[in-house]
């Protein structure tokens, strides 16, 4: 049995018969401004997240609300209610000093952020991926650097086995998932991804992909959830 604490919020997790079992999990998106107004801002592809949420009970016994919650980075008390915050957009985010301070505190307390670039295509350069990386390395944790996530990391093995890592669902193949690790216990605090894992949760009419990639993208997301609740 593993007990994980986020501020005053406790998440209780245990394993039974090889299946992850847990208290209720709530999927949440971070709400924030971007450099230039774009179609793909923080709330893009809302229904695609619901597709993922509906898949979670198929593969785990995690009790998940079929609802997308939102949180602003101005409200630390609300942020610490969630072990994992999902962010996506096509343009770089813009944060106030208070938001930067709250993000640092949330991550230091054990929270996790998954930042997934929503690729626009047309030769654009994964601006969200690049911009968020710069903010983390220069403002939130100055001097710290993102690293390649080794293939033996539990993010690839904690529930499903993903020995080759995550699928490339869109964007530039070289913008692979990178991680920022906690200095003391080395757990993953932030993952940035430039190959749009979210695209793998989308229906074919919105973003067609081979079935195997879609399955891998769902499995990768479930591993993210499990990891955030147990590390």
pLDDT tens readout for residues 2-51? 234 333 333 333 333 333 344 589 999 999 998 876 655 888 888 999 99
Q: How far apart are CA 231 and CA 228, in angstroms?
A: 6
- Is it the case that residue 225 has pLDDT exceeding 80? yes
- Is it the case that residue 1 has pLDDT exceeding 80? no
Does residue 205 or residue 3 have the better pLDDT? 205
Lowest mean pLDDT among 26-30, 57-61, 101-105, 133-137: 57-61
**What percent of the chain stands above pLDDT 70?**
86
Exposure of 160 in the CB half-sphere (CA atoms within 13 A): 18
Are β-strands 178-181 and 188-193 bridged in parallel, bridged antiparallel, or unpaired?
antiparallel
* pLDDT at position 15: 36
Look at residue 94 and give its three-state secondary structure.
strand
Match 């399955």 to its residue by tokens: 215
- Which structural domain, as residue segments, surrounds residue 64? 2-230
Q: How confident is the model at residue 120 (pLDDT cuts 50, 70, 90)?
A: low
Q: What are phi and psi of 69, to 5 degrees?
A: -90, 160
Residue positions counted in the chain: 231
Q: How far apart are CA 71 and CA 82, in angstroms?
A: 9
SS3 content of the chain, % helix, strand, coil (to 5): 30, 30, 40
pLDDT mean across residues, the chain: 87
Q: Are 217 and 201 in contact (CB under 8 A)?
A: yes
Look at residue 173 and give its three-state secondary structure.
coil
Alpha helix positions (H), 24-173: 46-59, 76-79, 97-108, 127-135
Question: pTM above the 0.85 mark?
Answer: yes
What does each C-alpha distance from 33 to 94, 96, 126 come to in angstroms? 5, 10, 17
Q: How far apart are CA 52 and CA 201, in angstroms?
A: 6
Computed from CA positions of residues 190, 171, 94, 46, in that sequence, does the dihedral angle turn out positive or negative? negative
Q: Count how many domains the chain has.
A: 1
* pLDDT at position 42: 87
Per-residue pLDDT reduced to its tens digit, 137-162: 999 999 999 999 999 999 999 999 99
CATH number, domain at 129?
3.40.50.12140
Q: How confident is the model at residue 173 (pLDDT cuts 50, 70, 90)?
A: confident
């Amino acid at each position: 049995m593993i007990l994980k604490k986020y501020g005053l919020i406790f998440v209780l997790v245990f394993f039974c018969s090889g299946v992850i079992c847990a208290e209720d999990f709530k999927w949440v998106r971070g709400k924030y401004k971007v450099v230039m107004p774009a179609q793909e801002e923080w709330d893009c592809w809302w229904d695609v997240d619901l597709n993922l949420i509906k898949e979670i009970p198929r593969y785990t016994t995690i009790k998940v609300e079929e609802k997308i919650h939102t949180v602003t980075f101005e409200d630390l008390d609300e942020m610490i209610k969630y072990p994992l915050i999902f962010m996506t957009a096509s343009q770089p985010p813009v944060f106030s000093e208070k938001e930067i301070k709250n993000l640092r505190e949330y991550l230091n307390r054990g929270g996790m952020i998954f930042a997934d670039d929503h690729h626009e295509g047309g030769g654009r350069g994964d601006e969200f991926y690049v911009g968020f990386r710069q903010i983390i390395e220069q403002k939130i944790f100055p001097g710290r650097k993102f690293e390649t996530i080794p293939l033996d990391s539990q993010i690839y093995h904690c529930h499903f086995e993903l020995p080759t890592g995550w699928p490339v669902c869109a964007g530039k193949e070289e913008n692979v998932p990178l991680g920022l690790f906690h200095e003391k216990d080395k757990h993953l605090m932030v993952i940035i991804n430039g190959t749009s894992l979210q695209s793998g949760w989308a229906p074919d009419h919105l973003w067609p992909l081979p079935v195997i990639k879609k399955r891998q993208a769902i499995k990768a997301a479930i591993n993210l959830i499990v990891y955030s609740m147990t590390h």
